[in-house]
Amino acid sequence: MMPLSTETLAENHDHQKAKIWSNEEVAELFDLPFNSLLHKAHSIHKENFSENEVQLSSLLSIKSGGCPEDCAYCPQSVRYKTHVKNAPLMGLEEVLEKAKAAKQAGATRFCMGAAWRSPKDRDISSVIPMIEGVKNLGLETCMTLGMLDEKQAKQLGEAGLDYYNHNLDTSSEYYRQIITTRTYEHRLKTISNVQSAGVKVCCGGIVGIGEKESDRIDFLKTLANLNPQPESVPINMLVKVEGTPLADSPEVDPIAFVRTIAIARLLLPNSYVRLSAGRSEMSDELQALCFYAGANSIFYGEELLTTENPVFLKDQELFGKLGLKASK
């Protein structure tokens, strides 16, 4: 097969709704020489975003632990003995104080995560004032609460929620090796419900959970073929947590991780591609390659669910070295 040119990739994104990616086409991108792939990805990135701006998000766990799901990577699961303690839903004032601090640190989006399989109606009623309060601070709002039905998605949309995070994690085939308590179709249904409610979608996955390159190909293809494509795409590097089934997983190859970022940029040219969990273990050089390959969003600040996030000053120093600035 002839390699896809930058012009072909640009044409694909110009006719994005009509373009349906195949596994073979995505595999062709994975086979490109590394420098050629990065050049193509950076060229597409420059067409759609400022090449030296990064969107800053802050993520707060508003309800931790006790989740009944069995996601093999997650320390929040009640099935595993980890350092995470069960904690009830935070109060409104505490959430708003955290949001104010995030804004002062430069974040423009505030993401709130609750360790639920799916929220109850009373839970939706409790989080709506949080959405309204954070929006009143001038921040974009994002939530991740588990599976949503149509009614719940509509309620969140009517409250003004900007984004809903619901990751696919991996390929449809490998998914069942990581999670058995909900299906891939459950995840796709929640995404559909969110989109129908007029809420933007934040949807990505995890690299380093034992998947093969073919799983990354299928996962990225599935994301690219969502209609509309997710507006935000977090690419996580597995954070190995003692007590979870994936605690002893092999290290992720950095070059393979950058390839995943670059191909996400090529397939999802108008989406924010975010470096998410695992960034605190990444070297400055690896992050720099990711930014060049098309990553243009990070989680920023003191809290990233149960993961230690790089401190404020370290991020400021890295941005200074790379000539990056926060997008407004």
Q: Catalytic one among 109, 182, 259, 274?
A: 274
Q: Is 111 one of the catalytic residues?
A: yes
Q: Catalytic one among 111, 187, 216, 290?
A: 111
Q: Catalytic one among 67, 187, 259, 279?
A: 67
How far is Cα 148 from Cα 153, in angstroms, rounded to an integer?
Answer: 6
- Helices 121-136 & 150-158 angle (0-180, nearest 10): 20
How far is Cα 249 from Cα 266, in angstroms, rounded to an integer?
Answer: 28
Q: Is 67 one of the catalytic residues?
A: yes
Q: Is 290 one of the catalytic residues?
A: no
Residue 280 DSSP code: G
Kindly state the tokens that stand for 203. Answer: 């949807």
Residues 6 or more apart in contact with residue 185 via CB below 8 angstroms:
none
Residue 232 DSSP code: E
Q: Is 203 one of the catalytic residues?
A: no
Residues counted in the chain = 328
- Phi, psi for residue 285 in degrees, rounded to 5: -65, -40
DSSP three-state, residue 45: helix
Residue 101 vs residues 92, 222, 288, 303: alpha-carbon distances, Å: 14, 36, 26, 11
Q: Is 74 one of the catalytic residues?
A: yes
Q: Catalytic one among 71, 187, 216, 265?
A: 71
Q: Catalytic one among 109, 182, 187, 202?
A: 202
Kindly state the tokens that stand for 16. Answer: 């994005």
Residue 275 DSSP code: E
Which stretches does DSSP call E strand in 21-87?
Answer: 53-63
Side-chain half-sphere CA neighbours of 132 within 13 A: 10
Radius of gyration of the chain (CA): 19
- Phi, psi for residue 136 in degrees, rounded to 5: -65, -20
Q: Which residues are known to be catalytic? A: 67, 71, 74, 111, 142, 202, 274
